[in-house]
Amino acid sequence: MDDSPTHGPSLEPALHAARALVLADLAAGDVARADVVSLVEDSVSHRRWWVEQWPEGVAYVTGLIAQDVQDALLERYGRWPLCPLCDGVPDVRSARDVTDDADDADGEEGGPHALEVEPELGEDPHWICGKKGVVVAPVGSLAPQKPAGGPGGTGLL
Ligand SMILES: [Zn+2]
């Protein structure tokens, strides 16, 4: 019915859903503080304008907002969300054998790296581990990270 490009009725619900998903991931990483939430609001505002210019992009706002917030956090606070797979957990395999071609210091050595949004511009975005090339979770469904310095015992919720 409505292919009028300027006011698609699905824009606000899409933005609202994207905001909720990114906030859920921030909460999972325990970084959903007020100043961080304001970064999300900034991105939502920007993407609202962006979708008004390119209405078809409404399907991509979740992935884009996630990347906006990721970039903003990197500038101010550091990497987010940290990869739960390469967290230096001394489980099965040592993390040393995966440095084939060290593309220029994307992640610090020894430290956890950040997940990447894939696809960068597409529907149904997921967080992926770029090192292992595996999907970690859909955007909005990151598992809560265990707080560091806990008793280290059975922390399953
Ligand atoms: Zn990883």
Q: What pLDDT was estimated at residue 111?
A: 73
Q: Is the bond preceding 84 in cis, omega lying within 30 degrees of 0?
A: no
Tell me, in angstroms, the distance from the centre of ligand 1 to residue 78's CA.
16
So where are the chain's domains? Answer: 11-91+110-138
Interior angle at CA 55, CA 52 and CA 57, nearest 5: 110
Rounded Cα distance between 102 and 55, Å, is 39
Tell me, in angstroms, the distance from the centre of ligand 1 to residue 154's CA.
23
Q: What pLDDT was estimated at residue 106?
A: 47
Tell me, in angstroms, the distance from the centre of ligand 1 to residue 134's CA.
8
- State the sign of the Cα–Cα–Cα–Cα dihedral 154, 29, 61, 67: negative
Tell me, in angstroms, the distance from the centre of ligand 1 to residue 88's CA.
10
Tell me, in angstroms, the distance from the centre of ligand 1 to residue 62's CA.
21
56: left (phi over 0), alpha (psi -120 to 50) or beta: alpha
Tell me, in angstroms, the distance from the centre of ligand 1 to residue 152's CA.
21
End-to-end CA distance of the chain: 46
Tell me, in angstroms, the distance from the centre of ligand 1 to residue 40's CA.
24
Q: Is the pTM of this model over 0.95?
A: no
Q: How far is CA 81 from the centre of its chain?
A: 6
Tell me, in angstroms, the distance from the centre of ligand 1 to residue 131's CA.
5
Q: What pLDDT was estimated at residue 24?
A: 97
**pLDDT tens digits in sequence order for the chain, 157 residues long:** 545 455 555 899 999 999 999 999 999 999 999 999 999 999 999 999 999 999 999 999 999 999 999 999 999 989 999 999 986 654 444 444 444 444 444 444 567 899 999 999 999 999 999 999 999 999 999 999 766 554 544 444 4
Tell me, in angstroms, the distance from the centre of ligand 1 to residue 6's CA.
40
* Residues 6 or more apart in contact with residue 86 via CB below 8 angstroms: 95, 98, 112, 113, 129, 131, 132
Give start and end residues of each alpha helix (H) in the chain. Answer: 11-28, 34-53, 61-76
Give start and end residues of each alpha helix (H) in 1-60. Answer: 11-28, 34-53
Tell me, in angstroms, the distance from the centre of ligand 1 to residue 47's CA.
28
Nearest of 69, 92, 59, 91 to residue 142 by alpha carbon: 69
